[in-house]
Amino acid sequence: MKIGTIDLGERPLFLAPMEDVTDPSFRYICKQFGADMMYTEFISSDGLIRDAKTSVKKLEIYDYERPIGIQLYGHLLEPMVEAARIAEAANPDVIDINFGCPVRKIAARGAGSGMMKNIPLMVQMTEEIVKAVKLPVTVKTRLGYDEESKHIVGIAERLQDVGIQALTIHGRTRAQLYRGEADWTLIGEVKNNPRMHIPIIGNGDVTSPEIAKAMFDRYGVDGIMIARATYGRPWIFKEIKHYFATGELMPPLTVREKADLAKSHLLKSVEVKGSPRGIFEMRRHLTNYFKALPHFKETRQKLVTSLDVNELLETIEQVAVKYADFNSSDSDSQAYSAGPDFPSAPEHS
């Protein structure tokens, strides 16, 4: 699969952009486990053109992350075009447009998946951004705004016709948010539409290697984007690739391996963001690495209250020692069935 001249190989796996999750430290970890392409947290076009500190900070990318895309959202044409130019100057590999975020405060303004109520503007905005930048432009969107407006097959053709070089489709409508099961049948229709020639990336409910293989085999998509299943489980990319290569499930990580990973992630977060911010923003990750461990309440409390890096490292080490004989497969299976603990703001995808 290629996006422009970027060769991602066969059956690539993408890390979805998730607000408050896919920061540089989390991307660092996911890249180690084999994510083929990643994206920044999504960035407000208004914030970029106002030079807002938080928005500009999200433009920071590192060479080891490549290929990487910067994802933008907004509801006004000119600010989105200007923001695309600003993002291009940060030297990503791709500019991605977010027409998929279902969060009310975003969609109600007509941005994210709210743009699916104004298809002509969606297409015009995409066309103008394609013209404004030299990098490949891609789009992430949903099946439609609601059950009565699942027009993604026609929308995909129009977006392709104005020059996007890949399209990611989340298999839900905006009205669904993250409820119910993702419907991949329309994603398959887009991929198998003889008019389509750009790569189609499927997204939604890929939580295991078996499901990933089934989605590739059944619907013929060029790539798969993984979002919530990476949260507290960034090694899912390695699990899927192991399954593709061998036909067998990868042995589950031990608690020791998870503890070492949590330490690495914590130190990277503090390196990138400093202390205490790097610690604050790691709290949601630390507890998810050890989800489903029994009698964990007291330890969890330490992980979400301490602001001392050394104390946190020691607490994590104590987890590794205490649960050295714990069957990690039990923890992983429970984590899948229960779902990860998300930050207060859900993913914007």
Catalytic residues: 101
Q: What is the DSSP letter of 328?
A: H
β pairing state of 6-7 and 2-3: antiparallel
SS3 11: coil
Token digits of residue 240 = 């899927």
CA–CA gap between residue 330 and residue 333 (Å, rounded): 5
Looking up tokens 């996911």 gives 30
CA–CA gap between residue 214 and residue 95 (Å, rounded): 29
Q: What is the DSSP letter of 43?
A: E
Radius of gyration of the chain (CA): 20
User: C-alpha dihedral over 60, 80, 184, 348, to 10 degrees?
Assistant: 50
Question: Is residue 183 a contact partner of residue 143, using CB atoms and an 8 Å limit?
Answer: yes
SS3 340: coil
AA letter at 110? G
Q: What is the DSSP string of 114-132?
A: GGGG-HHHHHHHHHHHHHH
